[in-house]
Amino acid sequence: MAFYTDITLGKYYASDSWVHALDPRTKLTSLMGLMVCLLITLRPPMLIFFGIFALISIRAARLPLALVLRNLRPFTWLFVITVLVHVLWTHGEIAYRVPWIGLAISHEGLLLGFVYSMRLALLVVYAAILTLTTLPIEIADALESIFSPLERLQVPTHEMVMMLTLSLRFIPTLMEEAQRIKNAQISRGATFEGNILEKVKSVVPLILPLFVSAFRRADDLALAMDSRCYSGGKGRSRYKSLHFDGKDYVVLTGTLLLMLVIILVEIG
């Protein structure tokens, strides 16, 4: 039952921190830069640095640490699979041999399993920091501003950003709907306990009602947008204009310098 309440992507945590006050384009660009740095580094000391930097960012944003780290719980199975894949298929110096089955676990496999799972965890944490400190409408405005040059190539950037924003916005809503359906099934005698196979089977009765609810909400949203004469992004104005200030330039410069340092370290 905790799965539905652990994911906070798409939820906004109100605070008066300077991270919340940053321009959303700054936060998006910095997030992309940090993700690039994470994807090009395989050094454990650098990953530890990014972990410490994530903790500093959480503190600067005045976010509850438990709220951010709660996003990692639904991905525990992915971290476990990542570690197992590298442990089982990476050859090297043997660190431990499992009795009876003769399975050899290498130092290199353990190290790669840790590195790749740590990278995935940090990606989830940084994405959670972005969504918790930025309103969905601000993310939409930032994406539309960043991709605006593509409009010269007749790319419907506004419509693409609108779909992405609505998808992000409805993640918490669908999670709440899934929890409501699950509670209704439990009240009718359904059980969601047992081994992995039984848990997978128990999810099936949730899928159809959730799909029906999602389509119904999508239809209601389309009717609401049509009744308000929504016709796309052409000629539309923004409720809040975006502009950079000193903090944004400092953060963007720091992100660029960090990317250059990581690239130089990895090349060296």
Cα separation, 188 vs 202, whole angstroms: 13
pLDDT by 10s per residue, the chain, length 268:
444 455 666 678 888 899 999 999 999 999 999 998 888 888 888 899 999 999 999 999 999 998 888 888 888 888 889 888 888 788 777 767 777 766 777 778 888 888 899 999 999 999 999 989 998 888 888 888 888 888 788 888 877 888 887 877 777 778 788 888 888 878 877 776 766 676 667 777 778 888 888 888 888 888 988 888 777 666 666 667 788 989 999 999 999 998 898 888 877 6
Cα separation, 174 vs 167, whole angstroms: 10
Measured between alpha carbons, how far is residue 120 from residues 82, 167, 253 in Å? 9, 22, 25
Residue 193 maps to a domain? no
Residue 82 maps to a domain? yes
pLDDT at 32: 92
pLDDT at 251: 92
Side-chain-facing half-sphere of 15: CA atoms under 13 Å: 20
Cα separation, 231 vs 233, whole angstroms: 7
Percent helix / strand / coil, the chain, rounded to 5 = 75, 5, 25
Residue 78 maps to a domain? yes
Residue 117 maps to a domain? yes
Cα separation, 60 vs 250, whole angstroms: 15
pLDDT at 8: 62
Residue 202 maps to a domain? no
Q: CB neighbours of 152 closer than 8 A, spacing ≥ 6?
A: none
Measured between alpha carbons, how far is residue 210 from residues 99, 108, 120, 165, 181 in Å? 46, 43, 28, 20, 8
Q: CB neighbours of 44 closer than 8 A, spacing ≥ 6?
A: 111, 114, 115, 118
By residue range, what is the domain housing residue 74?
7-134+247-268
Q: At 169, which amino acid appears?
A: R
Residue 69 maps to a domain? yes
C-beta of residue 106 within 8 angstroms of C-beta of residue 94 = yes
What is the domain count for the chain? 1
Side-chain-facing half-sphere of 187: CA atoms under 13 Å: 6
Q: CB neighbours of 180 closer than 8 A, spacing ≥ 6?
A: none
Query: Does the reported pTM lie above 0.85?
Result: no
C-beta of residue 126 within 8 angstroms of C-beta of residue 31 = yes
Residue 153 maps to a domain? no
pLDDT at 228: 81
Measured between alpha carbons, how far is residue 147 from residues 126, 144, 160, 239, 267 in Å? 22, 5, 10, 19, 30
HEC string for 218-232: HHHHHHHHHHCCCCC
Residue 181 maps to a domain? no
